[in-house]
Structure 1
Amino acid sequence: MSNARSRSKRTEANMLMVEDFFGTYQISTLDELERILDRRSESICANAYSLSPAQTAFPFLGIFVKNDQAILNYIASEGGDCAISRGAEAYGNAVFYETNAGATIVAPAEAIVPVATAVEAAREFFETHTSPSCVRWLAI
């Protein structure tokens, strides 16, 4: 197989659908993914990202970002197991935004990880379409 053909297949295999506060995008490079992950709503310094392979809704990686904090959730298949990120042990809850209009979700504070970890997880998901190993997960 030629290199050009190999690169073409790799690109197709890694294409992701990414949705955030500002739209839905079909991406095929890590650069595109990282540009989207850098976006934040100016009014609330937050964003929510949904990532899945371009041809199917699963596996699914969800990322909620506020300031320098993030929470992640991973679903392997429809009706399948679901997991949430696990950061430092903490008590209480944290509020994140699920829309630019200010709709919120409440998550356990122990699910918070640094944004850098969320970006690393998104990169890994882009490459593997599997549960990112750079995150500690808690089954829910």
Structure 2
Amino acid sequence: MFISSNIGSFPCNSLEEYKAHLETCFQQENEIWCSQSEESKYPCLSILVKSDQAVVNYFEVEDGGEMLVSFGDEDAEDIVSFCDGQYEIAAWQVIPASDAMECALEFFQSQNAPGCIDWGEL
């Protein structure tokens, strides 16, 4: 598995190594990309994290295929800013960072859209 983030890129040969790098990435506001390898970028999880909040996107292939976004509080109507305002996200997409971590760990096993959260279509 491969992790690319604002703080660096990390090839991971085991679940333990992958989890350790993710934990480091989750400690600050960050944009994280998880894929099978540096060369094979899809399927992937894209995670924006800020404090205890996160947004997760799943992309099956580069063009087309399944594209999903985390589905949090359907009644939330605000906009949430991530990565120093680089991304403005509908508040209904925001989930707890701990749930995003669970998604990333599940993704390591299957490279499919994790079943541990609710998803909306992009």
Q: Same fold (TM over 0.5)?
A: yes
Match of 2:34 among 51, 65, 73: 51
Structure 2 Cα separation of the partners of residues 69 and 92 of structure 1? 14
Counterpart in the other structure of 1:7: none
Asked whether 1:114 is paired with 2:96, we answer yes
Moved over 4 A (4+): none
Structure 1 Cα separation of the partners of residues 23 and 44 of structure 2? 20
Q: TM-score, normalised by structure 2?
A: 0.89
Q: CA deviation at 1:41?
A: 8.6
Q: CA deviation at 1:40?
A: 5.1
Structure 1 Cα separation of the partners of residues 26 and 110 of structure 2? 29
Q: Deviation per CA, 1:40-76, whole angstroms, max 9, x where unpaired?
A: 598xx31111001115111010011100010000000
Counterpart in the other structure of 1:67: 51
Q: CA deviation at 1:39?
A: 2.2
Q: TM-score, normalised by structure 1?
A: 0.78
The one-letter code matched in structure 1 to 2:93 is: A
**Contact 1:20 / 1:49 at 8 angstroms: preserved in 2?**
yes
Structure 1 Cα separation of the partners of residues 32 and 25 of structure 2? 11
Count of aligned pairs between the two proteins:
119
Counterpart in the other structure of 2:12: 27
The one-letter code matched in structure 2 to 1:28 is: N
CA RMSD, 1 decimal: 1.7
- Identical aligned residues as a percent: 29
Q: Deviation per CA, 1:6-25, whole angstroms, max 9, x where unpaired?
A: xxxxxxxxxx1101111111
What 5-or-longer segments of structure 2 have no aligned partner?
A: none
Structure 2 Cα separation of the partners of residues 108 and 56 of structure 1? 29
Structure 2 Cα separation of the partners of residues 21 and 36 of structure 1? 12
The one-letter code matched in structure 1 to 2:68 is: A
- SS of equivalent residue, structure 1 residue 79: coil
